[in-house]
Structure 1
């Protein structure tokens, strides 16, 4: 009986991760193609209405979206969590009377740790940090895709745009933990098993935003994120890397050539532990100077390095592992 239950549980975990991978890879493109194709069929009114709604509802993602606990608490996310498994580790308190910008590293291929811990309720963020709401910010262009935008808004995802961050940090009260995957597409190109590479040295915009709204900075590291897929990494200057960089510049994200454990799509069953560090107190400055931005950017990088070395052994790495900052 236990064996049958175990097989059922494993199947549910596999299906939950498969739907997530397929959603990540194909949903935005599929919704776009569907909307265009319907325009040339007898169902064109559906496509027209969808586009009209998109125009009328254009600003909603930047003004708090339509977050619903119903989607964030789907049972499927518990199976998704257990597949790897994914864990959230708390190291310090976050006050519900302040706002925060959590910088999450590394991006990996699909940011499974960040999505599970901050985009769903399956890892207990609300219980670990009472009164604080996690708000995961992702590529802004995804909120311009008909139908797909409705799904990601319901999941409580937000555009990583200046207007969206301004709303979350100034007009949504206190207790907002805005999560930004700092390295973005550039960092995903360095994702590979055994690698701990973070693109951060020239990424200072999030620090400036933190100063403008007096939001404390919190470093976050997802140990094991880079172990989930094998990636073909092109060397700098190669044709493959040039094409990836061009695509990233035009589209905002980079196409990665990767393979997983099953059917080349499913990630390896490797544990991922997302460790949330201690907040760095940041003053509010209407017009922060470059020196102020550089100062708090340096403090952030130092805190990230400290967080990595303090928790790397307990999260499965050897003492010899280093964190490379680009």
Structure 2
């Protein structure tokens, strides 16, 4: 009579042993069938059925680690269990960290592209609901706080030190290289090159503490300057200010350099939208020849100029480059003239695969090198000759910085920085 709990055709006792000809590696496959593979043809029993070929199918990589632990138990070697579980832990941790890196970068890309418009539309929608009072209170606060971005903003060290920025840094990864000390008794204007599509290196290095800007340059407060239009967008403006980002206009820069004490560093992406239209992997070019406004500001305030070059900034996205005179370039220039930014047709990798197109940037290293400061005298009304002289000094200093470090960060010695 069959024992209780066993159906017809089921017999108690140990599982059948594998044939003698099966190797030790095949025995792991046998264990996998016992512990993991469902019986072909239905049923809930876990045993080596005749319909399953011998040796069993190769288990997935993660399962192999667990199998190793089980095989150790069967052989009576408990040390194998600990080793296998440790390997499994580090494997899972590595995968989790990679997913967190992707999430951290994706949230910033979406912030850059749609957060301002999305928050504006949501606020307008709330005004039309029963929760209109919440939106009205925020709008009242917005009017009261309107000029704060032009007066140094409202940075938050807590936001700048969020753990998400460290995952953002490690996705590429991004590094900040210091070449000279900066005096806390002086103010500075950093010229950041190149713009790239989104200026990812500029954001990570100077609007967060992920790469240790506060430790590398103690006593220096960095302010990344960006389009003033971003600070007219609800919620987005507060998010940007929390990272120490300010409008790139004269009122904002004048305030920081004249009414905010010393030890301030304003980071200006000099090439702007025009430079972003020409960025492409493998190309090192900057838009600088006719960009002299930042030099004039430095002279008016006696702020030292610091050249900054980010190796790899142009490698993280690919874009369609429209030739001069084409309809595409005409549209881009019209946007740039009237709105302040130029739309680009670009792509990175997909969310689930690096072999597909998407909005995520490619995982390419970005190394930002902060060069030697150029001492600038204070001239209340600098002449064009003064501006041209110090602009020439700045261009020469940037080229020297590029030539000195290009071979250290993956470029050939023959590579030349193109200045347009």
Q: Does 1:314 align with 2:408?
A: yes
- 1:230 corresponds to: 318
Q: How does 1:79-90 map to 2 (within 5 A)?
A: 79-90=167-178
Structure with greater contact order relative to length (CA < 8 Å, sep ≥ 6): 1
Query: 1:37 Cα shift?
Result: 3.0
Match of 1:270 among 359, 364, 381: 364
1:205-252 C-alpha deviation (Å, 9 max, x unpaired)? 100000000000000000000000010111111111111111111211
For residue 40 of structure 1, report the CA deviation from its aligned partner. 3.2
CA contact (8 A) 1:54 1:144 kept: no
Choose the corresponding residue for 1:4, options 67, 89, 92.
Answer: 92
Larger radius of gyration: 2
Report the 3-state secondary structure (helix = DSSP H, G, I; strand = E; otherwise coil) of the residue aligned with 2:374: coil
Alignment partner for residue 52 of structure 1, among 140, 152, 170? Answer: 140
Cross-structure match for 2:304: 216
Q: Is 2:232 the counterpart of 1:138? A: no
What residue ranges of structure 2 are gaps of 5+ in the alignment? Answer: 1-88, 352-357
Question: What is the CA-CA distance between 1:124 and the residue it aligns to?
Answer: 0.7
Kindly state the Cα deviation for residue 174 of structure 1 after the two structures are TM-superposed: 0.8
1:100 Cα offset (Å)? 0.3
CA distance in 2, matches of 1:321, 1:126: 32
Describe the SS at the equivalent of 1:319.
coil
Give the root-mean-square deviation of aligned CA atoms. Answer: 1.1
Separation in structure 2 between the aligned mates of residue 84 and residue 232 of structure 1, nearest angstrom:
22
Match of 1:186 in 2: 274
Partner of 1:284: 378
**1:190-201 alignment, distance < 5 Å:** 190-201=278-289
**Matched position secondary structure for 1:58:** coil
Alpha-carbon shift at residue 44 of structure 1 (Å): 3.1
| Secondary structure at the counterpart of residue 390 of structure 2 | helix
Tell me the SS of whatever aligns to 1:37: helix
Alpha-carbon distance between aligned partners in 2 of 1:64 and 1:149, rounded to the nearest angstrom: 13
Q: How does 1:75-224 map to 2 (within 5 A)?
A: 75-224=163-312
TM-score (normalised: structure 1): 0.98
- Cα offset, 1:48, TM superposition: 2.9
Q: Secondary structure at the match of 1:131?
A: coil
Tell me, yes or no, if structure 1 residue 303 matches structure 2 residue 397. Answer: yes
Q: Give ranges in structure 1 of 5+ residues lacking alignment.
A: none
**Distance in 2 of aligned mates of 1:41 and 1:246:** 37
TM-score, with structure 2 as normaliser: 0.76
Distance in 2 separating the partners of 1:241 and 1:43: 44
Q: How many residues align?
A: 326
The answer on 1:26 being equivalent to 2:114 is yes
SS in 2 for 1:260: strand
